[in-house]
Amino acid sequence: MKNKTKAQNEENRLKELRDRYNEELTRLYTIRKENDLVTEEEENLMFNGDVHFVQDIQGYAGESSNEYQIEKLEEALDNLSVLREETEKEIQTKQYRDLRKEIEAMPQYKIWRDEVLKKFSNKCVVCGSTENIEVDHRYESFYSIVKKCGIINTVQAYECSGLWNINNGAPLCKEHHDQTQSNVYYKKKNST
């Protein structure tokens, strides 16, 4: 009688975990889809929560005990929550990158850039080169201005005076731009 109850409890727990896994997976997939982050591999695995579930879990089913499957599902759920956190970070990075691209496409950006170039006669402020010149936000990085002003769209960018301060811009050749702290940090972060 006791064993029967235990088996029943395990059945229930297994069903509960399966449902939760599928639910969480579907939620994660939806968030990734909405943010255009779904890879082709994920598309194949996750277009249906059940498919992923079956591939991930069914390998153990049949031959394994409910107890074992419960353990595996709990692990899988932990992995999903890690993926969820990573997805949040990916979304933030992507949003910042997209916003930056939009801001750089603004006429106001071109005006700021041209004025900075004119001020320094199109020369890298470090070596005087006129080749591959890029314009750097120097004392305060683009990223920190965006964060400080709380910019989330181009109108807010337009209204943030810090972004258009001529004294916060300098031409740098590509080689020296790559050596600036914010670029070194950015590259390190994106290569790991």
User: CB of 189: closest distance to Zn ion in angstroms?
Assistant: 23
Integer Cα distance of 53 and 75 in angstroms = 13
Among 51, 61, 111, 127, binds Zn ion (CB under 5 A): 127
What span, in angstroms and rounded, lies between the C-alpha atoms of 18 and 56?
Answer: 11
**124 near Zn ion, judged by CB under 5 A:** yes
Tokens representing 96 are 């910042």
Looking at 56-64, 110-118, 135-143, 176-184, which segment touches Zn ion (CB under 5 A)?
A: 176-184
Asked if 32 touches Zn ion (CB under 5 A), the answer is no
Among the residue ranges 39-47, 61-69, 95-103, 173-181, the one whose residues contact Zn ion (CB under 5 A) = 173-181
134 in Cβ contact with 180 (< 8 Å): no
Task: Convert 52-88 to b/e letters by CB count within 10 Å (16 or more is b).
Answer: bbeebbeeeeeeeebeebbebbeebeeebeebeeebe
Judged by CB under 5 A, does residue 133 bind Zn ion?
A: no
Q: Candidates 53-61, 84-92, 140-148, 175-183 — which segment interacts with Zn ion by CB under 5 A?
A: 175-183
Q: Which is nearer to Zn ion, 31 or 126 (CB)?
A: 126
Determine, following the binding rule CB under 5 A, whether residue 176 of this chain makes contact with Zn ion: yes
We find the least distance from the C-beta atom of residue 192 to Zn ion, in angstroms, to be 27
What the block records as the tokens of 148 is: 């400080």
117 is a contact residue toward Zn ion (CB under 5 A):
no
Place of tokens 């790991």: 192
* Size of interface with Zn ion, in residues (CB under 5 A): 6
Residue with tokens 């509960």: 16
Which two three-digit tokens encode residue 15? 């069903």
- Residues binding Zn ion (CB under 5 A): 124, 126-127, 129, 173, 176
